[in-house]
Amino acid sequence: MSAASGTPPSSGKAAAATAAPPREPNRVVAAWRGEHRFDAGRPGGPTVRIDASGKTGPGPVDSLLIALATCVSVDVVDILTKRRTPPTSLDVEVAGWRVSAVPRKLERALLTFRIAGAGIDREPALRAIELAVTKYCSVRDSLDPNVPVEWALELVEEPAET
């Protein structure tokens, strides 16, 4: 990125006549709030607290795992809803293993989904998760492709109506 202009450097290649117009980049601001705390979000929008000490909010790596979980989960909900089997609840627990060397980057992740909903069967739910992780989630695609992201599914029985 050019420091003077704030724009990405040109690749030197002429753009194809049929190329889509460039998209505006996502922009966020992280404002330091003392110690290891930052309030971050889109300019003028809601913010989340990121705290590397874990005292007042999740740390940066936990935030990455949260982004992965929510990105994949949005797609799972959408896929199941399009199948006309919308979930009534969906929770996902993410375990992220990190290497011991510095920087302690993510080594692998396991997403464990707990899904409830009328008509949700195991195989279509697993397929929805697979599609979300391997095809649709932009957060997953932004991670190092050598970091395996695995998943598990627990179908949760809905309480019987009385």
CA distances in angstroms from 143 to 2, 15, 107, 108, 132, listed in the order given = 25, 27, 11, 10, 14
pLDDT of 70: 98
DSSP letter string, 67-105: HHHHHHHHHHHHHHHHTT---SEEEEEEEEEE-SSSS--
CA–CA dist 120, 160 (Å, integer): 16
**Please, is 121 exposed, middle or buried when counting C-beta atoms within 10 Å of its C-beta (0-12, 13-18, 19+)?**
exposed
- Look at residue 7 and tell me whether its pLDDT is greater than 60: no
| Amino acid (1-letter code) at residue 95 | A
Beta carbons of 113 and 90 less than 8 angstroms apart: yes
What is the CATH number assigned to the segment(s) 60-155? 3.30.300.20
Mean pLDDT, range 41-51, rounded to an integer: 97
- Look at residue 81 and tell me whether its pLDDT is greater than 50: yes
23-42: per-residue pLDDT in tens?
999 999 999 999 999 999 99
- Considering the chain, what percentage of its residues have pLDDT values greater than 90? 82
